[in-house]
Amino acid sequence: MTCKRKVELGPRSYSIHIGPNLLSSLGALCSEEGMEGYALLISDDNVDKLYGETAARSLREAGIVATRMVVPAGEESKSHEQLIRIYDAALAAGLERSSFMIALGGGVVGDLAGYAAATYLRGVRYVQAPTSLLAMVDSAVGGKTGINLPQGKNLIGAFHQPALVAADTMTLRSLPLREFCAGLAEVVKYGVIADPSLFDVLERKSPEALMEDDALLEDIICRSCEIKADVVRKDEREGGLRAVLNFGHTLGHAIEQVAGYGVYLHGEAIAMGMVFAARLSEQLQGFPAEDTARLLRLLQHLRLPVARPEVSWPDVAAALSRDKKRAGGTVGFVLAEQLGTVRYGCPVPADVLERVWNESGEPWSRSKE
């Protein structure tokens, strides 16, 4: 079974295909969308070993002249150095304005290759072929692309929508459980911001069982993409509403920064951030305490951290205020009124932030693995 959804953005609209073994028909899917000729297939060294040849063969079979290029796995690859390597490879492979790039991998490869596509020859088309759950339900959809600077993550970037998203769910079989669970944190987020029935689904299955249940997994990814596509359709460039996708991310980003990137997976930091946001929501939006308890239980069931991490409040508060400066002093929290309904841009007094932080239970630590 394959599920297909569309991101409706006028001339920038595109399809999202989700299903098993899609990489074997990647070339045909590209051709259907009018992508032919020269292509650069960008992956990381882990993913390339597992799926590079399947994707390349499928492109060849569709008559596409694809050159493979590989970046080192890990967040460090969202750098100028790797970007220049991609431009070099694209030039050497003869990519023109009518050519395209393909991002085969997780969020790092997707963001990096997407940004290369946004800027090479003032912009060429690209395909997102996500291989991690996090990328399938979040980063591969919506057109946010970018790289990091030593000063912070995603400081350089562009909105550049893909021409196609092809999520092969079989690739999730090779994902470590910890990463799979971190991807589920974003699904929980969709449950809070738009569709509480995702809670019911996730509560019924252990992450291990879910990993093996292809049909259910496909449904969950499909529903997540549908919710994201709807938000992006209404607010492509985050003028307002798109901020709801950041439920749990305000504190989550601060935790990632203060703990040091790599200590927590993104989804783990978001899980802690969602518990924090739920508690703030109780104080400021009348969010029911039993729903915070339900969120907490679900995150624990998904092996995600829920308690305050071992980082100091002054450091976290400083990271939050740096974020605020970057947004022109107007960064607000996304808070929930009830499961399925959130408000964005909510101001939270500093004393409430600190009090809720201090009430967030025993520190929870995870050393770098």
Q: Give yes or no for a contact between 368 and 313, defined as CB atoms under 8 angstroms apart.
A: no
Of 141 and 220, the one with the shorter C-beta distance to ligand GLY is 141
Instruction: Report the C-alpha dihedral over residues 333, 334, 339, 341, rounded to 10 degrees.
Output: 130
114, exposed or middle or buried, with CB in 10 Å at 0-12, 13-18, 19+? Answer: buried
Active site amino acids:
122, 144, 186, 228, 238, 242, 246, 249, 253, 266
138 is a contact residue toward ligand GLY (CB under 6 A): yes
Q: Give yes or no for a contact between 111 and 145, defined as CB atoms under 8 angstroms apart.
A: yes
Strands 38-44 and 14-19 turn out to be unpaired
Binding to ligand GLY (CB under 6 A) within 39-68 occurs at: none
130 is a contact residue toward ligand GLY (CB under 6 A): no
Q: How far is the CB of 138 from ligand GLY (least distance, A)?
A: 5
17 is a contact residue toward ligand GLY (CB under 6 A): no
189 is a contact residue toward ligand GLY (CB under 6 A): no
Site pattern 205..244 for ligand GLY (x: CB under 6 A): -------------------------------------x--
Of 48 and 138, the one with the shorter C-beta distance to ligand GLY is 138
Among 17, 85, 125, 144, binds ligand GLY (CB under 6 A): 144
Give the C-alpha separation, 343 to 341, whole Å. Answer: 7
Give the C-alpha separation, 141 to 15, whole Å. Answer: 10
Element (H, E) at 126: strand 125-130
Task: Identify which range of 56-64, 80-88, 138-146, 274-282 contacts ligand GLY by CB under 6 A.
Answer: 138-146
**H helix intervals, 205-287:** 207-212, 214-234, 249-259, 266-285
Q: Give yes or no for a contact between 248 and 276, defined as CB atoms under 8 angstroms apart.
A: yes
Among 163, 245, 335, 336, binds ligand GLY (CB under 6 A): 245
Of 142 and 309, the one with the shorter C-beta distance to ligand GLY is 142
Interface contacts to ligand GLY, rule CB under 6 A: 138, 142, 144, 242, 245
